[in-house]
Amino acid sequence: MALPPALLALAAAAFGIGTTEFVIMGLLPEIGKNLSVSIPQAGQLVTCYALSVTIGSPFMAILMARFPRRLSLLILMVIFILGNTLCALAHGYETLMAARIFTALAHGAFFGIGAIVAAEVVPKHQRARAISLMFTGLTLANVLGVPLGTLLGQAYGWRSTFWAVSVIGIVAFAALLIWVPEVRQARRMRLKREVVALSHPQVLLAMGVSTICSASLFTVFTYITPLLETASGISPHGVSIALLLFGVGITLGNLAGGRAADWRLMASIVIMLCMLVVVQAAFTWTSHSAVPAVITIMIWGALAFGVCSPLQMRVVDQGRAAPGLASTLNQSAFNLGNALGASFGGVMVSAGVGYSRLPWFGSALSALALVLILYALWLEARAQRRRQDRRAVHRAAAASGSVPL
């Protein structure tokens, strides 16, 4: 597909948002030392960011619904730029925490509205691929933005990283302003109607699958460094290389997932979830040797992120009566899964479960997601049979001249 400039603008903004979300993990020692707090305290900056995305995104979606989508994206980028500038200027832990929470308000709503815009600037048969191209900015943030931002912060102080991210935000704002067209705006939001639309079982099931898939990933990935060091025998330098290859895997998987979804949406989700169950289970064995472990995490990353765009498209399709809110809420679902997965993995480790056995729990969660998506397919097939039966009754009644009850 010819790449519309609007997708480049959306990907650039996604790159900045992904970088500011994840780069702080590599800067925790510098932040803790500079602000005189412990590393666990500094780690709360990560947790509170994710919670702000989860809780704040629906409210931001409702607030942004009154504006045209292009204007909404620009407003959200202003929040992003201002938030990162405030992070760079923060002179205490509390002010940095407040700035992080404020910055996170732009996250879920931008990806939610951005996914709608990405799907509308391409032909219908390329919608999922367009969403995956936007999310490529997020995956590249893990491959390029996070390591470069970490190096910059270590060399020139952690504030320099947030200044750099603010510059990325300014560039993305200019690209959005120039390249993103005015897209067809949905009818004016009526909150009651939107909530009714989102309460449809298929929408809730799709969001549930998104949450569980994210939890499946972060149950293991949160503890990937000690897993690779203790079980696989990989050095700290080798772990950095392994995580870089993981980033390559998630980028390629994200692009492939978009193509697969444009081919057959539900079939691609089912196939990738089946493969995730197997690959995560296999990781419990391959994690005991360095080369097989690295190969496995590349495949695992590709599948874990490959399913994201199809799930986002599924939520948008099923929540078509409230697409902006549905798309944004699915971002909340992913971030909720991040928090739940990290917490679940922590509970397992605290209970004495070895790091190399965590993939079993990730595999079990992927299996649960597979069960839910198969249940959604069964519900669809049952509803279709009922519609066919009703049409058959009406045709028979029309042929006989009677009126069906």
- Residues 247, 268, single domain; the answer is yes
- Residues 176, 221, single domain; the answer is no
Confidence of residue 277 (pLDDT cuts 50, 70, 90): very high
239: containing domain = 190-395
Residue 19 maps to a domain: yes
Tell me if 265 sits within 8 A of 377, measured CB to CB.
Answer: no
271-286: average pLDDT: 96
pLDDT per residue over 40-85, tens digit each? 788 788 778 888 998 998 889 888 888 899 999 999 999 999 999 9
Tell me if 149 sits within 8 A of 19, measured CB to CB.
Answer: yes
pLDDT per residue over 307-324, tens digit each? 998 998 999 888 877 777
Of 139, 144, 132, the closest CA to residue 7 belongs to 132
Of 183, 380, 359, 350, the closest CA to residue 270 belongs to 380
pLDDT per residue over 96-133, tens digit each? 999 999 999 999 999 989 998 998 999 888 888 898 89
Of 246, 224, 249, the closest CA to residue 236 belongs to 224
Looking at residue 109, which CATH number applies to its domain?
1.20.1250.20
Confidence of residue 191 (pLDDT cuts 50, 70, 90): low
Chain centroid to CA 328: 10
Contacts of 50 (CB under 8 A, 6+ apart): 104, 335, 338, 339
- The tally of domains found in the chain comes to 2
Q: Which residue has the tokens 């990937």?
A: 224
Residues counted in the chain? 405
pLDDT per residue over 350-378, tens digit each? 889 988 999 999 999 999 999 999 999 99
- Residues 366, 230, single domain; the answer is yes
135-161: average pLDDT: 89
- Residues 173, 219, single domain; the answer is no
What letter does residue 67 receive in the DSSP assignment?
Answer: S
Residue 264 maps to a domain: yes
Residue 389 is predicted with a pLDDT of 81
Residue 102 is predicted with a pLDDT of 97
Residue 129 maps to a domain: yes
**How far is the C-alpha of 86 from the C-alpha of 253, rounded, in Å?**
34
